[in-house]
Structure formats: structure tokens, C-alpha cells
Amino acid sequence: MKITGAKVFVGGPAKNYVTLKIMTDQGVHGLGDATLNNRETLPAKYLQDYLIPNLIGMDPRNSEDIWQYFYRGAYFRRGPIAMAAFGAIDTALWDIKGKLANMPLYQLFGGKSRDGAMVYAHATGADLPDLMDSVASYVEQGYKAVRVQCGIPSMPTASYAVPDKKGGEGDYITDYSGIIPKTEIWDTDRYMRYMPSALMEVREKFEPDLKILHDVHHRLSPREAAAFAKAVEPVGLYWLEDPTPAEDQDALRLIRQHSTTPIAIGEVFNSIWDCNKLIENELIDFIRVAATYGGGITHLKRIIDLAALHHVRTGFHGAPSHSPISMAAQHHLNAWAPNFGIQEYLVLGTKECDALFPSAHVMTDGMFYVSDAPGLGVDFDEKEVARYEYKAGSHPIVRLEDGTMWDY
Ligand code: CS2
Ligand code: MG
């Protein structure tokens, strides 16, 4: 069996999804997602110029060897662009494997460990009452877990993932007005003073069974993060996410020494080498590496298995920039993984998105149920994608009030 061709598409409703389609001489094709939010053209180019010419003629069933060929074969390896491109190839090869076996992917991993997998939504508010309305609407829809973020009084601008105005909707992560980013102003002291009591108010307003998550988005020092994690202990968070800048694996040690608040980290990691020490030293509770820029299913499975040895559960990144293809890869892993925790899930399910990526997967009452269709169980409509053009977008940048650059 041979790979005969591969195509890359960039576009989609509201997002620039990077979709890879690998064709074979047996008529079976596989799909992968190489979307790297706000840098989408780069993995697409990496695939087109370097990886696809090497793929032609390979046996798609040898997904392990193909992964090693691209990873070990590259002298300059790792990094989100390369790993997103490998990830897309790897996911597409698993999709082909599932279709050849006529089995849904979770069966190839070891079958189902659960019927449905719990997901969490993003509740957000310009201020605390606005956030309460947002949480209430998710609770009404049956969600069992929500991530909560809200504006901080006296902060000069909105903070991470918070709308400018009450009831604000839309994409609060990517600004599609262009490639030049807007600036957010950050003040750690105001955040530290305000957020623990705001989180406590959310806890008191809703049923104790509601799982509450909060994302610091890499903005605290290890000492501040330790103090914050300790201060929010009475809230009983399901997790505190990215408390410190992600590059420093040792930073988590101080937090652990001072608090039992569960810690989730990893959405910007792209290999097992970015999180192996965190996992082996049991400094985190949830690992968030995504199938997309974490090198696909082959590599993510290795991370899941290492994590399982150390009581670390999964909580894969699922921001709206992941297309339904890489989300399906994660949903199949979630159905199988013995150490599954939770899945971040933003409803992409607009009519346009469903038309581009038809599937029979179901999310209901805050639980995700994978379909039994072979492979990933997601299709891709090439005619639909032709409707969309690439649009440049940017994440905000963050500065302190005196102008100092800070972490987004
Ligand atoms: C976030 C992300 O989902 C999350 O937890 O931290 O939404 C992040 O801001 C985006 O993926 C950036 O593109
Ligand atoms: Mg996050």
C-alpha cells in the first residue's frame, strides 16, 4: 500500500483551519489538522515544501516509522510549527488505519474505558455578574464543568479571555482585524487581590457538584502562583491552569510545596520532552498537550502512558482553533485513556462548521460521545472549504502599565 498524494487546505468558518488530506493507492484517505492559531500558514508551508514530498510512496500503515522518520530524521526538530505538521500527518495515518480496519480509532487504542467523556466550556464575563450569567447558561445546558474568567475592577483593559463589554460575544482570543496585535494591560497585584474572592462567589452561587476551572494564562511568578493556589484552596477548583510561564518546569515545585490546588499545564507544549519532568516529579495533576501541535496521536499516546504512571490525568487543549479533526483524535483518546480527566470543548458546531467537517459524534449535557464510524469519524468537504479565504489574526500582547512586556 502506498501514499499517492496529499493536499493542504487553509480556511474555515471563523478560523483558518489547516486541513491535511492524505490519499492512497487503495482509495482510502486520511485527514489531519495542522492548525496553529494565528500562525496557520507556517505548518501549511512546512507540510507542502518539506514533508509531503517525502511522504509520497511511503506505506501509510507504518505510522510509527513515518513519525520517527520525520522526527529523528530532522536535525532541527520539535517546535510548534514542525510538530503541528507531523501531528497532522500522524493523525491522518491513524485515520487511514482505522478505515482499513473498519474500526473507530478508540478500538485500536484498547477500546472504550467510559461511555461518554466529560467536557468543560468557557464561561466569561466583563465583570462578575456578567460571568455569573454565563456560568448559569452553561449549567442550564447541562455542563458539569466550566472554566471561569472575568474582568477585574480597576484593570485598565479587559484581561485574558474576557470581553470588553457585558454580554460580549465572539472570539475573545483571536482578533481578525489584522496581524498587528492589540495591547492588554496587566496588573498582578489587582488580579491577586480580586480573583480568589470572585472565584469563591462563583463557588457559593452554584451547586457544589459543578466543577470550576480557572486559567491564569502563564502570568504569575512561582512565588505568586504558590500564594494564589493557596488562596483559592477553599474554592475547591477542579484545576488551576498555566499558573506560571510554561518554559520553566521547575517553577511548579514551589506551588506544590504550598498548595494542594490541582494544577493543569501543557497547552503550549509540543513534545514529551516539555513535560516529562513535570510528570515524573508529580508536579502537575492534568496534562494539556494537544494532538494538533503535540505530534499527533502517536506522540500523545506516549505522553498519556507516562502520565498514567504518575497519577496525572488528561485535560487536552480544545480551544476553538483546533478543528473537528484533531478534536476527534482527542475524543477517541479520551474514550480509551484509563487516566482521562476532562476535555476542553468549545462548540464549533455552527452549520458552516458541520458542513465542512460532517460527523456523527455527539456532545450533549456536557458529555462527549464518539461515533462508531471507522477511523476518526470526521469527513471533510473540499467544495465547502473553497468558500473560505485565509484571514490574518493575532493574539493580544500584554504589557504592564509602565509599558513592560508581559506574558500573554
Ligand atoms: C487557552 C487558549 O483554551 C485555553 O485554555 O489558554 O484558548 C489560548 O489562549 C489559545 O489557544 C491561544 O490561541
Ligand atoms: Mg489555557
pLDDT digit string, tens, across residues 231-264: 999 999 999 999 999 888 889 999 999 999 999 9
Helix, strand, coil shares of the chain as percentages rounded to 5? 35, 20, 45
- How distant, in Å, are the alpha carbons of 12, 15, 173 from that of 320? 12, 8, 9
Ligand 1 atom closest to Cα of residue 38: 13
Mind listing the pLDDT tens digit for each residue in 30-61?
A: 999 999 999 999 999 999 999 999 999 999 99
pLDDT per residue as tens digits for the range 259-306: 999 999 999 999 999 999 999 999 999 999 999 999 999 999 999 999
Ligand at shortest distance from the CA of 160: 1
In this predicted structure, the answer to whether residue 169 has a pLDDT above a threshold of 90 is no
What H or E segment, with its residue span, contains residue 343? strand 343-344
Which of 103, 125, 156 corresponds to the end of one domain?
Answer: 103
Task: Evaluate whether 146 touches 123 at the Cβ level (below 8 Å).
Answer: yes
Distance 140 CA to ligand 2 centre (A): 24
115 φ/ψ angles, rounded to the nearest 5 degrees: -75, -50
Number of independent structural domains in the chain = 2
Query: Quick one: 91 and 160 in the same domain?
Result: no
Q: Does residue 348 register a pLDDT over 80? A: no
Backbone Cα Rg of the chain: 21
C-alpha cell of residue 366: 456536557
Residue 359 CA to residue 350 CA, distance in Å, equals 13
Using the mean position of ligand 1's atoms as its centre, give its distance from the Cα of residue 377 in Å.
25
277 shares its domain with 164: yes
Domain identity same for 142 and 182: yes
Q: How far is the CA of 166 from the centre of ligand 1 (A)?
A: 21
Is 144 found in the same domain as 66? no
d(CA 327, CA 250): 30
Task: Confirm whether 386 is domain-assigned.
Answer: no
Ligand nearest to the CA of 120: 1
Closest CA to 68 of 48, 54, 53, 49: 54
Distance 396 CA to ligand 2 centre (A): 14
Residue 187 backbone phi and psi in degrees, to 5: -140, 110
pLDDT tens digits for 21-33? Answer: 999 999 999 999 9
Nearest alpha carbon, ligand 1 atom 9: 173
Which among 247, 201, 192 is positioned nearest to 220, based on CA atoms? 192
Ligand 1 binding site (Cβ under 6 Å of any ligand atom) = 37, 173, 215, 217, 267, 317, 319, 321, 344, 395
In a domain, 206, yes or no: yes
Q: What is the pLDDT of residues 107-150, one digit of tens each?
A: 999 999 999 999 999 999 999 999 999 999 999 999 999 999 99
Is residue 374 in some structural domain?
Answer: yes
Nearest bound ligand to CA 321?
1
Do 89 and 207 lie in one domain? The reply is no
Structural domain harbouring 136: 108-381+391-406
Domain boundary among 103, 127, 146: 103
Q: The domain spanning residue 91 has which CATH number?
A: 3.30.390.10
Supply the pLDDT for residue 249: 86
Same domain as 248, residue 314: yes
What is the rounded distance in angstroms from the CA atom of residue 109 to the CA atom of residue 332? Answer: 8
- Per cent of the chain over pLDDT 90 is 92
As a whole number, mean pLDDT of residues 309-330 equals: 97
215 band by pLDDT with thresholds 50, 70 and 90:
very high
Integer Cα distance of 172 and 157 in angstroms: 13
Could you tell me if 165 and 84 lie in one domain? Answer: no
For residue 145, being part of any structural domain is answered with yes
What is Dmax (Cα atoms) for the chain? 63
Separation of alpha carbons 283 and 63, rounded Å: 32
Domain presence at residue 89: yes
Residue in 46, 120, 160, 238 annotated catalytic: 160
Tell me, yes or no, whether 149 lies in a domain: yes
Cell numbers 510554561 correspond to 246
Domain identity same for 84 and 176? no
What pLDDT is recorded for position 349?
A: 66
Q: Which segments of 232-337 does DSSP mark as H helices, in order?
A: 251-258, 276-280, 296-309, 324-336
Interhelix angle 80-101/324-336, nearest 10 degrees: 70
Hey, what's the cell of 357? 467537517
CA nearest neighbour of 260 among 229, 287, 235, 282:
229
**pLDDT at residue 247 in the model:** 87
Name the residue at shortest CA distance from atom 13 of ligand 1: 37
Atom of ligand 1 nearest to the CA of 318: 3
- Mean pLDDT, residues 333-355 taken together: 93
Q: Are residues 200 and 319 in the same domain?
A: yes
Would residue 243 count as lying in a domain? yes
| Residues 208 and 340 reside in one and the same domain | yes
Comparing C-alpha atoms, which of 17, 118, 106 is closest to residue 373?
A: 106
Residue 171 has pLDDT above 80, yes or no: no
Pocket test for ligand 1, best of 263, 267, 342 (most atoms within 8 A of CB): 267
CA 122 – ligand 1 centroid, Å: 10
Segment 71-83 shows an average pLDDT of 94
Catalytic residue among 214, 217, 332, 361: 217
Tell me the β-bridge partners of 122. 147
Look at residue 37 and tell me if it is in a domain: yes
Average pLDDT, the chain: 96
The answer on 33 and 82 residing in a single domain is yes
Residue 144's pLDDT is 98
**One domain for residues 132 and 78:** no
Picking from 85, 103, 121, the residue at the C-terminal end of a domain is 103
* Residue 173 pLDDT: 81
Q: In the annotation, is 160 catalytic?
A: yes
The single-letter DSSP state of residue 48 is I
